[in-house]
Structure 1
């Protein structure tokens, strides 16, 4: 991936030299041309096309923003209910992530959304223990995290 980005920047700079215009617009045009060239010739460049990961990172950021907003609304609803009838608890989330970076990112995303907190990661790195403010259904909570954050992280890193 870093090689492809460097190659794309070199193509953009070469485009600036060939067009004899040294401004940001020419660089952007050269960068787009370089990205298209790398996409067409991706069979000859090592690794997968890097723009797929860039799109995955943008999706992960937008997913986190959406989950942050929705969990804030849920917490506000729980806080302003006249009768406190939520069910806090701790559950174990089985994970398929392998690297320390992936696991750390998942644990941080879980902790940054209001109402949930990553407590501990098991010694074999196969589970994350999570405290949630309201758990009506443990299986649903596990599936929600696996279908959103874990899936998005695997799209970015694999």
Structure 2
């Protein structure tokens, strides 16, 4: 991935030299031209286009912001309700993530959303124990973590 970024920057500089104008606009146009060249070359050279990973990072960021807003609304509803109608619980979430970095990122994203807290890992790092302030259905909560955060992390890292 790093060499693709360097190639893209080199194409942008070559573009500026060929256009005989050193400006930020020409560099941006050259960068876009480099993206297109790398995008079309990926079919022939069999590499993963690096910009797809950048897009996946932004998707993960927006997913986290969306989940953060939803969980804040849920916690506000719980706090402002006159009667405390919650079902706190600890759920064990098996994960398909392979590296320690990926599992740590998942635990951090879960802990940063209000109402949930990553408590511990299994010794092999394949199960994450999470405390949640309101878990009416544990299986649905596990599936929601798999289909949102875990899926987005796998898009970024694989």
Category of TM-score, reference length = shorter chain: over 0.9
Q: Aligned residue for 2:96?
A: 96
Instruction: Please state how far the C-alpha of 1:43 moved relative to its aligned partner.
Output: 3.6
Partner Cα distance (1:82, 1:18) in 2: 69
Task: Give the RMSD, CA atoms, in angstroms.
Answer: 0.9
The answer to whether the Cα contact below 8 Å between 1:4 and 1:45 also exists between their aligned partners in 2 is: no
The answer to whether structure 1 residue 149 and structure 2 residue 149 are counterparts is yes
Instruction: Please state how far the C-alpha of 1:146 moved relative to its aligned partner.
Output: 0.5
The answer to whether structure 1 residue 82 and structure 2 residue 70 are counterparts is no
Partner Cα distance (2:13, 2:20) in 1: 10
The answer to whether the Cα contact below 8 Å between 1:38 and 1:45 also exists between their aligned partners in 2 is: no
Q: Aligned residue for 1:40?
A: 40
Q: Which has the higher helix share?
A: 2
The answer to whether the Cα contact below 8 Å between 1:42 and 1:48 also exists between their aligned partners in 2 is: yes
Local SS of the residue matching 2:128: strand
Partner Cα distance (2:136, 2:69) in 1: 20
Instruction: Please state how far the C-alpha of 1:34 moved relative to its aligned partner.
Output: 0.3
- Aligned length, in residue pairs: 158
How does the TM-score come out when normalised to structure 1?
Answer: 0.97
Instruction: Please state how far the C-alpha of 1:55 moved relative to its aligned partner.
Output: 1.0
Q: Where in structure 1 are there 5+ consecutive unaligned residues? A: none
How does the TM-score come out when normalised to structure 2?
Answer: 0.97
The answer to whether the Cα contact below 8 Å between 1:110 and 1:116 also exists between their aligned partners in 2 is: yes
Local SS of the residue matching 2:42: coil
